């Protein structure tokens, strides 16, 4: 924590070789994963100001073709004491050299190299209209796309050397995916008498899955709002009996 009320933190994590007993989703043998490392860092600005900035960064890998990197910037703006707006972005690139694909009918446990990009946005608005009446709005579009190649089968999950655990295979399936979703929750709260409140909630969820593993920011996020929608309306009433 600095004198100007900014703050930062950083760390480094080194993991020894773990054993994953769910490597084949509980239907087959487990497998060792590779030792891996992760470095992370965050920076936050002075939260007493009207505008507050924050960011989180992490990067890591295992030295055998798997690596990941992510960054999550955010900003909070409080123009008045009764309104706050918060928005944040999460971007992650994940490359896993031995990601489970399927347990094939012929007894093979199929893995592949996954190249995945994930981007999500979060937006929150809190508006206190009066001490008794408030509105909260939350919205989060999310897109994740992953493409597979370098397919392999699990040979000996307990082999000490990574090269001895898997063997290359020819795989004709297409596990590539492009997942799009949108979630929003909007809440109106009215305390019509002390201790008694009425909640009116509208939730909407949109979801779509394509079999293409290519990530394209503009088309993907535009496609989020064209996905099939499901709406839910909730009403909750509470009444406090003063004894």
Whether pLDDT at 13 is above 70: yes
**Is 243 within a domain?**
no
Average pLDDT, the chain: 95
Whether pLDDT at 174 is above 70: yes
Mean pLDDT of 148-173: 95
pLDDT at residue 52, rounded to an integer: 97
Q: In whole angstroms, what is the distance from residue 93 CA to residue 119 CA?
A: 9
Q: Which residue range(s) make up the domain with 220?
A: 7-238
**Is 123 within a domain?**
yes
Beta-carbon contacts of residue 2 (< 8 Å; ≥ 6 apart): 8
**Is 210 within a domain?**
yes
- Structure-token pair, residue 243: 């004894």
**Is 99 within a domain?**
yes
Mean pLDDT of 52-62: 97
**Is 2 within a domain?**
no
**Is 221 within a domain?**
yes
**Is 163 within a domain?**
yes
Instruction: Provide the number of structural domains found in the chain.
Output: 1
pLDDT at residue 27, rounded to an integer: 87
| Cβ contact 134:128 at 8 Å | yes
**90-101 pLDDT, tens per residue?**
999 999 999 999
**Is 44 within a domain?**
yes
DSSP string, 105-151: TTS-EEEEEEEEEEEEEEEEEEEEEETTEEEEEEEEEEEEEEEEEEE
């Amino acid at each position: 924590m600095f004198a100007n009320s900014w703050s930062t933190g950083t760390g480094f994590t080194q993991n020894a070789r773990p054993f994953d007993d769910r490597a084949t989703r509980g239907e087959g043998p487990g497998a060792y994963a590779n030792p891996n490392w992760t470095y992370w860092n965050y920076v936050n600005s002075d939260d007493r100001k009207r505008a507050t900035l924050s960011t989180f960064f992490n990067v890591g890998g295992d030295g055998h073709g798997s690596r990941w990197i992510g960054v999550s910037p955010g900003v909070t703006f409080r123009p008045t004491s009764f309104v706050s707006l918060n928005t944040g972005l999460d971007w992650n690139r994940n490359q896993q050299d031995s990601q489970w694909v399927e347990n094939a009918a012929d007894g093979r446990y199929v893995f592949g190299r996954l190249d995945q990009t994930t981007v999500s946005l979060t937006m929150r608005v809190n508006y206190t209209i009066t001490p008794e009446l408030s509105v909260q709005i939350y919205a989060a579009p999310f897109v994740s796309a992953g493409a597979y190649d370098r397919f392999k089968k699990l040979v000996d999950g307990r082999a000490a050397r990574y090269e001895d655990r898997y063997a290359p295979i020819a795989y004709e399936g297409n596990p590539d995916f492009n997942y799009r979703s949108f979630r929003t929750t909007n809440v109106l709260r009215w305390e019509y008498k002390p201790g008694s409140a009425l909640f009116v909630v509208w939730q909407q969820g949109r979801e779509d899955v394509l079999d293409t593993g290519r990530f394209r920011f503009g088309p993907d996020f535009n496609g989020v709002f064209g996905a099939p929608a499901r709406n839910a309306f909730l009403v909750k009433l509470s009444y406090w009996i003063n004894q």
